[in-house]
Amino acid sequence: MTKDVIALTERMPDALSVLAGLLAGGPDLLVESAGEGAVVQLCDAEGRPLVSIEVPLMLQVPGEAARLLGPGAELSGDGPAWWVEARAAAGVPQAEQLAGAFAARLTMLLGGRVWPPDAPGTVGAARPVDVSGITAVPAPAAAQPAVDMLTDKAAVVLQDRPVVPMTSWLSEVLRATVESDRSLQIVTPPHCRLSTPTRLLLQSMPARWVVQDERCGYYDGLTGAVLTWQDDAFAPDRGESGETPVADAFTEAGPTSDRQLSVSFRTLHRPTADLVLGGALEAAWQALTGGLPAGWGTSEPAGLKWSRRQLTELAYERAPRSTWTVVVGTPERPAVATLRVIRTPEGVEEDVTLTVGYGPGEEIPRGALPGLAEELVTRYGLTTMLCQLREARRDLSAPPHYENPSLPYAFVLGPAEVQEAGRDTASRTPLKEPPVQLGPKARPGFYYALGDAETAETAESWAALEGLLRHLRGAPPV
């Protein structure tokens, strides 16, 4: 399994230090750029990449390295760190040594540490790696440095790290596979987990998390379906009955006392010159965590300090294309959000999913949700919001085993949607409790309580939401 190697340096890598790291393979290797200069590659004599190195990323957010790499990954001191990721080509042992030697040389010059600390090539990094006779994988797989195997149906990426984040190179692979009508398939050992942004994107795209387990072969880390390699891609195995079995490893997880609260909402703004984005997310963060976001970025790790102004400037530069970002919190209160800014004919839309983690004995702020809904309706142009609770890890990562599904807790309809559904329809629903009116009486929104999410069964909770939505759309009850 391919292991990426990461150098966390105390000082900013400059051109000379990066060049010194690249010389870990000696003078016989070629150095080329890819991805419009965002990636530097060490290549064999035929120009095929052995190691791909991302542009250094400054981490200004405390705890971000530990969130993705585990305890002990943070550097000492109050200053920023620089994250430099090197990815070795699959199936070439010397390539892993090259990646490790590059990272080790970089930290020798700039201070810091290598992750993982036992990566091949980190011992004796002052000596060049013997690259004689190395041959990298042939094209077309090597045409995309992050892809380990490319077929007509799938781009397969091998990963072995504590948490698989939506890095810049992985998001680029996801974009390229969608554009080429392929499926992204991430293959990991069973000890790996997905970050929340990675999980959300895999669930919404033609993609699959493939877990390789020594007892049962391959299975889907999000559904448990047993997988086999067929027709150039991993696909669900069909048993003699025609149904796909669930892997035993997927069902072995025990109960957890951790909880997650997730709020997904959309806001719509008029595209005025003084529009500043991120206010709705900031209000939700304050209501549910008691503080503001710590950092953000267009990928993971999210290395920039939170700034609504910088977020707005980036979205403005990318318009009319959409802008997808990750927003993170502090280690004391785990919180992660994805925020997509979309330019539509109606205006500027913000599509947000914020998830907050709670451990045993930590109170979930359910009582803050109606007030949050009121603020989003009156100040930030809320269209809809769905609040959900689930039993899941406090650190917000997704393990490759069964977790209880989310339970809908509340639904919110903004003023424009109330007007579209009809005020009488929106205010008189089949739910047990009447809705709470939000905002001005002349143009209100409504907050709908769907249950307590503690004693309700999953089917009952989702049935209540489905019945509400059918009612709002004017469909007859089932």
Q: pLDDT tens digits, residue range 239-294?
A: 777 788 999 999 987 788 999 999 999 999 999 999 999 999 999 999 999 999 99
Over residues 165-178, the pLDDT tens digits come to 999 889 988 988 99
Q: Above 90 in pLDDT, residue 114?
A: yes
Q: What is the pLDDT at residue 141?
A: 43
Q: Which of 44-48, 207-211, 222-226 has the lowest mean pLDDT?
A: 44-48
- Mean pLDDT across the stretch 353-380? 96
Phi–psi pair at 26, nearest 5 degrees? 80, 180
Least confident of 33-42, 101-110, 354-363, 457-466: 33-42
Identity at 358, one-letter amino acid code: Y
Q: Which two tokens stand for residue 235?
A: 């696909």
29: exposed, middle or buried (Cβ count in 10 Å: 0-12, 13-18, 19+): buried
DSSP, residue by residue, 99-118: HHHHHHHHHHHH-EEEESTT
- Residue 77 is given by DSSP the state S
Residue 319 has pLDDT above 60, yes or no: yes
Q: Are 256 and 343 in contact (CB under 8 A)?
A: no
73-93 mean pLDDT: 84
Beta bridge partners of 9: 82, 112
Q: Where are the alpha helices (DSSP H) in 405-447?
A: 415-421, 423-427
What DSSP element (H or E) covers 312?
helix 308-318
Strands 207-213 and 183-188: parallel
Cα separation, 259 vs 267, in Å, equals 26
How far apart CA 174 and CA 168 sit, in angstroms, is: 10
What is the chain's mean pLDDT, rounded?
88
Dihedral sign computed on CA atoms, order 414, 415, 417, 418: positive
Tokens in use for 19?
A: 């060049």
Tell me how crowded residue 394 is: count the other CB atoms within 10 A of its CB: 18
Q: In this predicted structure, what is the pLDDT of residue 279? A: 98
Residue 242 has a pLDDT of 77
| CA-angle at 86, arms to 99 and 146, nearest 5° | 115
Contact between 137 and 130 (Cβ < 8 Å): no
Are 430 and 467 in contact by the 8 Å Cβ rule? The answer is: yes
Q: What's the rounded Cα separation, in Å, for the pair 461 and 474?
A: 20
| Look-up of token digits 């993609």 | 207
pLDDT of residue 76: 81
Does 365 or 50 have the greater pLDDT score? 365
Residue among 81, 79, 56, 86 at smallest CA distance from 66: 81
Which H/E stretch holds residue 64? helix 64-69
| Residue type for position 83 | W
- pTM as predicted: 0.91
pLDDT score recorded for residue 112: 93
Confidence of residue 137 (pLDDT cuts 50, 70, 90): very low
Q: Which residues contact 39 (CB under 8 A, 6 or more apart)?
A: 33, 52, 53, 54, 55, 145, 169
% of the chain with per-residue pLDDT over 70: 88
Whether residue 24 has pLDDT greater than 70 = no
* HSE-up (13 A, CA, CB side) for residue 432: 9
Tell me phi and psi for residue 387, to 5 degrees.
Answer: -110, 130
Amino acid in the structure at residue 93: P
Residue 5 backbone zone (phi > 0: left; psi -120 to 50: alpha; other: beta): beta
Cβ atoms 201, 166 nearer than 8 A: yes
Whether 340 and 315 have beta carbons less than 8 Å apart is answered as no
Contact 88, 51 (CB under 8 A): yes
